[in-house]
Amino acid sequence: MAKLNPIALTLTILCLLVSTHDVHAARHGPPSAAVEDDICGGKEKVVKLHFYVQDLRIGHVNATVFEVAKASITPTNPFAFGSVHVLDDLLTEGPAYNSRALGRTQGLTTNADLSAFGIAMNLNFYFYAGRFNGSQLSILGRNQVTDAARELPVVGGTGAFRYARGYAIQTTYSMDPVSSYAVLEYTIYTTYNSKFNSEIDDEIETAEM
Ligand SMILES: *[C@@H]1O[C@H](CO)[C@@H](O)[C@H](O)[C@H]1NC(C)=O
Ligand SMILES: *[C@@H]1O[C@H](CO)[C@@H](O)[C@H](O)[C@H]1NC(C)=O
């Protein structure tokens, strides 16, 4: 990489800070060099993911989003405070519905702001095709949907995304209120384990409990 990547640089610094902290925190001696290498040294990389989510809302003939709960205030609050939705949206490579299917976006969204459309997001991106087939990435955060671009934290994952951290930018690619069909665009910068499936976990020490 000839170009200096500020995100990679920041993550490298974070990584070093975490490693140093771990060494000081360990009461039974520092972790072996192998452990630090597994998490940070060359195996953890940053990747930019870009995909679309097909949001077929209530009212769409093939809806994949449903309201599961509401509060006494929901019908009278202008921002539908307390409304909780569960979703299982198709995740695609391109914006078209029949674009290559990469996985599902599953989780809960809650209208959690009394005076704005501020949505508490709890989403799992479950990939069943492509480079990250079998891995999951989780995001959690506040989504003010009236903003043009919304930033959400990546809080973890499974498979290649074990220990993942990063952020997602969500924008609305298209929205058709008549058919209740929205397409959401996601750009995610996240760490991942570039040596996933290479038996590295065998080297990690077991802690005394
Ligand atoms: C709904 O799903 C059916 C079956 O997959 C499909 O044939 C139809 O085109 C879909 N309708 C819309 C509006 O997407
Ligand atoms: C994804 O991985 C599963 C399990 O290894 C495999 O069965 C499936 O064929 C893969 N899907 C694609 C599209 O490669």
Ligand 2 in reach of 129 Cβ (< 6 A) = yes
Ligand 2 in reach of 134 Cβ (< 6 A) = yes
The closest of 3, 17, 31, 16 to 205, measured between CA atoms, is: 31
Cα angle: 182, vertex 147, 161; to 5 degrees: 70
Question: Mean pLDDT, the chain, as a whole number?
Answer: 85
- The predicted structure's pLDDT at residue 27: 46
Ligand having the closest approach to the CA of 63: 1
Please state the separation of Cα 85 from the chain's center in Å: 18
> Quick one: three-class SS letters along 107-175?
EEEEECCCCCCEEEEEEEEEECCCCCCCCEEEEEEEEECCCCEEEEEEEEEEHHHCCCCEEEEEEEEEE
Q: pLDDT digits over 115-159, tens only? A: 999 999 999 999 999 999 999 999 999 999 999 999 999 999 999
Q: pLDDT digits over 6-32, tens only? A: 555 444 444 444 443 443 444 444 444
Closest ligand 2 atom, residue 128 Cα: 1
- The predicted structure's pLDDT at residue 25: 41
Give the Å distance between the CA of 164 and the centre of ligand 1. Answer: 35
Average pLDDT over residues 70-85: 98
